[in-house]
Amino acid sequence: MELSIDTSTEIAGIALSEQGHPLAEVTWTVGMNHTTQLMPGVERLLHISGRQLSDTTAVFVALGPGSFAGIRVALSAAKGISFSLSIPLVGVSALEVEAFPFASTGLPVCAVHEAGRAELAVATYRQSDGEWRCLRPAHLTSLDGLGAELVEKSVLCGEISGELEDALRKSLGDLVLIPPAASRLRRAGNLAALGWARLLRGEKDDPATLQPIYMRRPHITVPKHEHQGYNDQPGRVAGAGPAQ
């Protein structure tokens, strides 16, 4: 049995799976209560599934981008379980987890998070010839910059606020397909599928060195004038949109 953990943003998810196939999962609005709600949530999911934490044979964790505190809560829990049970740990980008449900479209799938300062954290993926590939890894860009990156019709997904969705449709028009918000919800079941695929390829991570994906360094440790260009983000990725 594998355990998947995702507290990257205000939307959290955990899942139990067998060889990447979900057995049980829960997704909920965690707000800023990642620390107090994650492990009780894991315990409840194990209880209703009739399983024990000791049954876990691998841990999959979403690495962000997103909430500075939220990502660290998930990663710390995943590392602790991996160490204590001596089981494999696999990290997956939260953007890839959001993009994966739309793999069957055959189109480029661009996952988007609002990153504040009029910037977007984006990554693009595509499934072709039966293989899921990252076309462009996570990076910061602007609305205009995103438009310049998209060279063909693409699916846009992720935690996109209504305001940003309107701006994207106005700016990019028929170049993009934006699925309904309900289908864009990030699910730990998809994290399980991606984590299992990586594990089958032998791509497990070292718990001692695995790091979160941040787009900027946290304000509390780095002076404001030093933030430019760092791959990190504090508390919220989004200024106008949901916490990331």
Tell me what pLDDT residue 76 has.
97
Q: Are residues 217 and 176 in the same domain?
A: no
- At residue 184's C-alpha, the angle toward residues 178 and 189, to 5°, is 150
Q: Are residues 191 and 174 in the same domain?
A: no
Tally of domains in the chain: 2
Q: Which of 238, 221, 205 lies closest to 75, judged by CA? A: 205
Q: Which of 3-12, 106-115, 173-182, 235-244 shows the lowest mean pLDDT across its residues?
A: 235-244
Check whether residue 71 and residue 191 sit in a common domain. Answer: yes
Mean pLDDT of 221-240: 36
Q: Is residue 100 located within the same domain as residue 164?
A: yes
Read off the CATH number of the domain in which 10 is found.
3.30.420.40
Q: Which residues contact 191 (CB under 8 A, 6 or more apart)?
A: 4, 6, 13, 15, 60, 61, 62, 92, 97
> Are residues 163 and 178 both part of a single domain?
yes
Q: Is residue 148 part of a domain?
A: yes
Using DSSP bridges, classify how beta strands 120-128 and 109-114 pair: parallel, antiparallel or unpaired: antiparallel
CA 101 distance to own-chain centroid? 12
Neighbours of 219 (CB within 10 A): 14
Looking at the structure, tell me whether residues 118 and 172 fall in a common domain: yes
> Is 40 inside any structural domain?
yes
> Same domain, yes or no, for 130 and 174?
yes
Residue 159 lies in a domain: yes
Q: Which domain holds residue 105?
A: 95-184
- Write down which residue in 184, 203, 236 finishes a domain: 184
Do residues 45 and 13 share a domain? Answer: yes
Q: What is the CATH number of the domain that holds 121?
A: 3.30.420.200
| 167-170-171 Cα angle (round to 5) | 85
In a domain, 234, yes or no: no
Count other C-beta atoms under 10 Å from residue 228's C-beta. 8
- Residues 84 and 119 placed together within one structural domain of the fold: no
pLDDT digits (tens, 9 = 90+) for 26-80: 999 998 899 999 999 999 999 999 999 999 999 999 999 998 899 999 999 999 9
Residue 218 has pLDDT above 90, yes or no: no
- How far is it, in rounded angstroms, from Cα 41 to Cα 149? 39
Q: Tell me what pLDDT residue 154 has.
A: 97
Q: Tell me the mean pLDDT in the region 219-234.
A: 40
Please enumerate in sequence order all residues whose Cβ is within 8 A of that of 190, keeping only pairs 6 or more positions apart, or say none: 97, 100, 101
Q: Closest Cα to residue 113, out of 75, 145, 161?
A: 161
Inside any domain, residue 239: no
And the tokens for 157? Answer: 């997904």
238: pLDDT strictly greater than 60: no
Among 163, 184, 205, residue at a domain's last position: 184
- The reply to whether 83 and 199 lie within a common domain is yes
Q: Let me know if residue 44 belongs to a domain.
A: yes
Q: Where is the domain boundary, 153, 184, 215?
A: 184
Q: Looking at the DSSP assignment, which residues form a beta bridge with residue 123?
A: 111
Residue 233 in domain: no
- Considering the domain architecture, whether residues 107 and 177 belong to the same structural domain is answered as yes
Shared domain check, 64 and 86: yes
Two tokens at 169? 């449709």
Determine what percent of the chain is predicted with pLDDT higher than 70.
88
Two tokens at 204?
């497990």
pTM strictly above 0.85:
yes
Q: Is residue 235 part of a domain?
A: no
Of the pLDDT bands very low, low, confident and very high (cuts 50, 70, 90), residue 236 is very low
* C-alpha–C-alpha distance, residues 39 and 35, integer Å: 8
Do 112 and 121 form a contact (C-beta atoms < 8 A)? yes
* Angle (CA) 202 191 194, round 5°: 35
